[in-house]
Structure 1
């Protein structure tokens, strides 16, 4: 594995806002809790100057970045990507000629009822449109009670399985109803019993890949927190492209 020789990033994590980006978990279009993470990927060695001078004016002022991004709560947006585009525009303005790309991750912690979080991530190189980039969408810590396991006690009662699903979209703007996809997958899982996590995970990967033409590939990680006495959990992770199921 090769490591980057030089990276310079200024970031602000978890800016908390209340924003209307469309339907919330109950299907109503209104303000909902939103977190925004912004990463300014700067030209190599840009931060050397402030690192040597110890002067904040030689760097990017993340206080100004936070203030500008916080004003996004004053508007409504036609979806998460539109919100990310506005945050990206503000970040490029703050960074000026020093930015090579902007990465924005927007979290909607209340969008998926049985999950701990839902995130959309976009990386936009300088001079390009956010709406042309490929999004990464993650459903975090989806908790489902599943009949799973090979040991006799595991066949008697359902146990919690914690699942993370990451969708890698094709470039461009796509109208994908992720809450509906998660609901469909959860419904399929509830009617099924498994002996192994491998079978469980591959089932979800296949269903998720085929849920929309916009999806390029899917990564699913599932963990059983009750499986081992002296470990947090046991787990399986599988990544497949949509083409694997055609």
Structure 2
């Protein structure tokens, strides 16, 4: 029996944690007949998440996206041309997502976190995953790992609709949380069975498109000067509490600045080694590094190399 299975047996409420790709394959998310989604809703975080300099509780913008994939087609809505039980009003979905940010984490926030995941305001403990957890709770009545923490009166936005949903995914992106990249994204996804219970889930953190001058390449001219390298780092299957994205970015940038590698393959492996040091007490997680060399091939936008590693029972 694997460690994950042993933990599941010890805690029946703990839902299996997979990679996003595995979860989407398992739920056949990309083949489900009907999807409602919203992309990049704009809001402001005031009371949670650290900025690119690792400063807590600094105002910063946040983009929110959500995807709801249904197991059945929009039969009623398509036949009557009216919204019914077989769909979700995307305007109301947008309002629900924005209400969570405003109510708990925005400039006019008045509420306290009253379920698991609670952190002390002012101590820098209100991290990005807490925002995602609260958003998920307000949508579904459960925490990110599927535990029911008291959806008092069944007031969650999706309520009884979960039994019709094959996959739910929510992403928050902090475009100003990276000093040299295009932002940091956190995604929670989950599959649901016909009783509306979470069957499997995925969590990921992505540092998007870091741009760092790097000494990299085989050709003599590439050994003479640094060239711009664009690097993305994704960590899956691990709870990213404490806003460790600033540490990951700093680690990756330092490794790139000190690089003298000739191949992207060797550099990518080294970057993963360095990222693992940030997650030294974590286990059973996946790291992916994607590297682009924009000027390496004159007639191509860029060559791309990806390196992935699954870390199991990793303690150092």
Q: TM-score scaled to structure 2, two decimals?
A: 0.69
Please state how far the C-alpha of 1:186 moved relative to its aligned partner: 1.4
1:18 aligns with 2:85: no
Aligned to 2:181: 115
1:56 aligns with 2:83: yes
Q: Map Cα deviations across residues 65-110 of structure 1 (whole Å, 9 max, x no partner).
A: 1112212224228222222123223333333322334311000011
**In 1, Cα distance between equivalents of 2:314 and 2:157:** 44
Q: CA RMSD in A?
A: 2.7
**Unaligned 5+ runs, structure 2:** 1-24, 106-112, 114-125, 141-155
Aligned to 1:39: 67
Return 229-238 or 97-106, whichever deviates more. Answer: 97-106
Cα distance 1:90–1:47, how it changes in 2: closer, same or farther (>3 A)?
farther
**In 1, Cα distance between equivalents of 2:314 and 2:293:** 26
Contact kept, 8 Å, 1:210 with 1:242, in 2: the verdict is no
Contact kept, 8 Å, 1:143 with 1:161, in 2: the verdict is yes
Contact kept, 8 Å, 2:269 with 2:307, in 1: the verdict is yes
Aligned to 2:216: 148
**In 1, Cα distance between equivalents of 2:76 and 2:204:** 33
Contact kept, 8 Å, 2:127 with 2:241, in 1: the verdict is no
Number of aligned residues: 242
**In 1, Cα distance between equivalents of 2:312 and 2:225:** 36
**In 2, Cα distance between equivalents of 1:240 and 1:191:** 22
Aligned to 1:197: 264
Q: Quick one: which of 88, 91, 94 aligns to 2:157? A: 94
**In 2, Cα distance between equivalents of 1:244 and 1:236:** 27
User: Which one scores higher on RCO, CA 8 angstroms, separation ≥ 6?
Assistant: 2
Q: Map Cα deviations across residues 139-163 of structure 1 (whole Å, 9 max, x no partner).
A: 1101111011111111111000001
Please state how far the C-alpha of 1:169 moved relative to its aligned partner: 3.2
**In 2, Cα distance between equivalents of 1:28 and 1:176:** 9
